[in-house]
Structure 1
């Protein structure tokens, strides 16, 4: 066999192998393939798809520690996000410490390095524009790595009720939520219905910011910040605006009926759960799975609002993430939708 023939054979094998990898990325279970990614792509930030059906390119990591924040549950590797999301968390931590009497943020899940569905946990947090913040204040000392895995957040509810325990809720928690809602890029803040009711019953003066605070299942020990699609992400799908109503009327009252908490009857026949494949996501997500990674986490970590640039030599071409016309659902699927 001549050297030219060997070269053709090698090139053919490489092309076939690349095709096989691409087929796996397009057709494999999305949560497994995105869940094993340890580093983001290199290049400009790009949120693709909807909060509950999409992926993220060019994400950056929130440092484990800052002057006014600590990241919890580090083993999950979910402290990644769009740079604007990471910058907003840092800003909120500083503003809340300076203005609201809140000593610092304990930050929960943001997103995976390349976004996408998670093996466990959230339906959303897929495009790097969502973040969970505990309603437990940061202590003066630094948690150990082991404590970050085991320390439990404090529920704001009174026993097994739907209502906030007045002994736990403080004005500083109200101020923290008000500050988070004050940022123009924040689209929604999800809290437990009991927390929303607490705010509706107690907030005086300007109540316009309450329109962004939305009741939702869970969220009794943390709140969930969601920001708008950011410039440079043309295929990011935003939600409808919340409007100006403070949300303290009929929609909130629905949460205190039996309907939201009624268990659905079991199906007559077992239903096999649908597995979301990569091919079910926007087309760019398969390419994002295969895109180059930076050399280390230090190259894509925010620190006090300053991004450390990744090496240009490994940057992915912008054309690799060109938008398509795929339509994404307008909202997160929930068991029953409130009025």
Structure 2
């Protein structure tokens, strides 16, 4: 007769199986990294630091910008992408106030980053380290939008759809130009991405500081919003910066290239070429620190990690919640066999 197992024994057995899954280095690679990071609803309660590059990384200790501020409203709240480095959030707060001084009613904020950064399920290749933010070209209305309106409000393109790469003069205004150039004026801002037609419009009409035009970079899309990117914060050793912006105002042959057929031509498939299977970015493709960030402890609530605004508002997460008091660098440098015991890899499960 087989002995009857107690509930405690069954629980211990289940825990052992779970631990075995956690210690399996391949466990985290059973799901794409975008699913793992999108499933995290709150940031890692660790020192605030970005790891990796804008398009291949993560962030520990991110903070959320409030859904509403004196001069901004966050959009598409269901995406849970209003998280960023405190320096990014502070810049958006400052920019919203400066925008009003330019005659702009207020900012509608698009995506910043996910709570722990990392790849997203849709929409972006970058925005992974909390140092990118999208600003709609639609001005903020004079009332608070409902949650449903924030999900459904359509974007407003600045392009004339009847003409190739041409700004619609009925929609684009001098205030739009001042808004983009104000974003480029902050020393911490490294790049402002806009549609090539908008860049050309600025090249043709901007009468202010032409030196700032070099920061405004042409890119696909970006006719309904512009994208602000700030530099890696001082002392953020794990953050990989981009190459410096080339000298000059960017109103040269590099811009003219966008008005040729080459950037828009569909790639010609090679004869007898086999179909290429899509490659998903896995956790092992990201910096090692991102494994620690993904498995790090969460704060008690979203309110505890929401930006409070004003001077000295940056939040610190250097207390006991950070991997047993060790720095993330110490955890990564630890023996690989001991790593799961400190920061276990999440057990794979069906993604909802």
| TM range, smaller chain | 0.7 to 0.9
Match of 1:127 in 2: 129
The counterpart of 1:231, out of the listed 231, 234, 238, is 234
On the 8 A contact 2:158/2:223 being kept in 1, the answer is yes
Give TM-score, length-normalised by structure 1.
0.88
Is the partner of 1:47 in helix, strand or coil? Answer: strand
Q: Between Structure 1 and Structure 2, whose CA radius of gyration is higher?
A: 2
Is the partner of 2:259 in helix, strand or coil? Answer: coil
The counterpart of 2:307, out of the listed 302, 309, 330, is 302
Once the two structures are TM-superposed, the CA of residue 241 in structure 1 deviates from its matched residue by: 1.2
Matched, 1:291 2:296: yes
Which whole-Å CA distance do the structure 1 matches of 2:331 and 2:297 have between them? 19
Which whole-Å CA distance do the structure 2 matches of 1:318 and 1:141 have between them? 46
Once the two structures are TM-superposed, the CA of residue 275 in structure 1 deviates from its matched residue by: 1.2
Gap change, CA 1:37 and 1:56, over 3 Å in 2: same
Once the two structures are TM-superposed, the CA of residue 127 in structure 1 deviates from its matched residue by: 0.6
Once the two structures are TM-superposed, the CA of residue 265 in structure 1 deviates from its matched residue by: 2.0
Is the partner of 1:218 in helix, strand or coil? Answer: coil
Matched, 1:97 2:104: no
Gap change, CA 1:295 and 1:261, over 3 Å in 2: same
On the 8 A contact 2:48/2:317 being kept in 1, the answer is no
Match of 1:334 in 2: none
Which whole-Å CA distance do the structure 2 matches of 1:319 and 1:182 have between them? 35
Gaps of 5+ in 2: 1-8, 334-352
CA RMSD, 1 decimal: 2.2
Match of 1:328 in 2: none
Is the partner of 2:133 in helix, strand or coil? Answer: strand
Match of 1:222 in 2: 225
Once the two structures are TM-superposed, the CA of residue 27 in structure 1 deviates from its matched residue by: 5.6
Match of 1:315 in 2: 322
On the 8 A contact 2:47/2:318 being kept in 1, the answer is no
Gap change, CA 1:308 and 1:126, over 3 Å in 2: closer
Match of 2:3 in 1: none
Gaps of 5+ in 1: 1-5, 326-339
Once the two structures are TM-superposed, the CA of residue 12 in structure 1 deviates from its matched residue by: 6.3
Q: CA offsets per residue over residues 33-91 of structure 1, 9 Å max, x none?
A: 11111000112111000100111100000100001000000000000011101111111
On the 8 A contact 1:162/1:194 being kept in 2, the answer is yes
Match of 1:73 in 2: 76
Is the partner of 1:254 in helix, strand or coil? Answer: helix
Matched, 1:137 2:139: yes
Give TM-score, length-normalised by structure 2.
0.84
Match of 2:350 in 1: none
Which whole-Å CA distance do the structure 1 matches of 2:180 and 2:196 have between them? 14
On the 8 A contact 2:75/2:150 being kept in 1, the answer is yes
Match of 1:114 in 2: 116
Q: CA offsets per residue over residues 280-327 of structure 1, 9 Å max, x none?
A: 1111111111010101001111022424566934233453245989xx
Is the partner of 1:159 in helix, strand or coil? Answer: coil
Number of residue pairs the alignment of both structures matches:
317
On the 8 A contact 2:47/2:316 being kept in 1, the answer is no
Q: CA offsets per residue over residues 144-196 of structure 1, 9 Å max, x none?
A: 10000000121000124311011111111111111111111100000000000
Is the partner of 1:255 in helix, strand or coil? Answer: helix
Gap change, CA 1:104 and 1:323, over 3 Å in 2: farther
On the 8 A contact 1:294/1:311 being kept in 2, the answer is no
Identify which range, 266-275 or 186-195, moves more after superposition: 266-275
Once the two structures are TM-superposed, the CA of residue 19 in structure 1 deviates from its matched residue by: 1.4
Match of 1:213 in 2: 216
Identify which range, 316-325 or 48-57, moves more after superposition: 316-325
Is the partner of 2:178 in helix, strand or coil? Answer: helix
The counterpart of 2:274, out of the listed 269, 276, 290, is 269
On the 8 A contact 2:296/2:322 being kept in 1, the answer is no
Match of 2:204 in 1: 201
On the 8 A contact 2:48/2:316 being kept in 1, the answer is no
Q: CA offsets per residue over residues 118-141 of structure 1, 9 Å max, x none?
A: 111100001110000001100101
On the 8 A contact 1:300/1:310 being kept in 2, the answer is no
Once the two structures are TM-superposed, the CA of residue 269 in structure 1 deviates from its matched residue by: 2.5
